Amino acid sequence: MFNKLRQNYKLSDVLIRIAFVLTYVFYSWQECLAAAQTVSMSYGIAALPETTVIVLALLMSFLIGVVLMFLVPFVTNLFLNSSKFYNVPRAEYALLAHLFCTIYFVVCGALRLVDLFTPVLLVWGGVLFPFVVSLGCVICFYAVTSRLYFNDVTRPYYFRNAAIVYFVAVTVLEVLL
Partner 1 sequence: MKKWIVVIAALILICLSVGTTAYAETSESALLDAEQFVSRLTSLNRGVQLAETSGQADAAKSQVRDMLKEQFRLALGVDASAVKERYFTVETVTGYNIEVTYDAPGTDKCVIIGAHYDAVGEGANDNVSGVATMFEIMKGLKGVSLPFDVYFVAFDCEEDGLVGSTYYTERQIYTEFEDVLVMFNIDSIASGEQLYLMCENKHTDLADMILSKSEEIAEKPYAAGVYGVYDAFGYGYYEYVQGSDHTPFRLQDIPVALFFSGEYDMLGYKGDGMMNTDEDTLVNLQYANPAFLSRISTVASAICATLGDENFLNVAGAARGQLLNNTLLYNRWWPSLVVLGVLLILALCTWLYSRKLKKQAILGHAEVKNNTVFDKPDSEDIFSFAQEQDKNDEKDAHKDDIDDIFTFKK
Q: Is 53 in the site for partner 1 (CB under 8 A)?
A: yes
Question: Cα(136)–Cα(144) distance, rounded to whole angstroms?
Answer: 12
Q: Which amino acid is at 64?
A: I
Separation CA 93–CA 75 (nearest Å): 11
- Residues sharing a CB contact under 8 Å with residue 13, sequence separation 6 or more, in sequence order: 91, 95
Q: Is 159 in the site for partner 1 (CB under 8 A)?
A: yes
User: What is the Cα–Cα distance from 177 to 107, expressed in whole angstroms?
Assistant: 22
Number of residues that bind partner 1 (CB under 8 A): 64
Element (H, E) at 4: helix 2-7
CB of 67 to partner 1, least distance (A): 21
Per CB under 8 A, does 77 bind partner 1? no
* Contacting residue, 62, 79, 103, 155, with partner 1 by CB under 8 A: 155
Which residues contact partner 1 by CB under 8 A?
Answer: 1-4, 6-11, 30-31, 33-35, 37-38, 41, 44-47, 50, 53-54, 87, 89, 91-92, 115-120, 122-124, 126-128, 131, 135, 140, 143-144, 147-156, 159-160, 163, 167, 170-171, 174-175
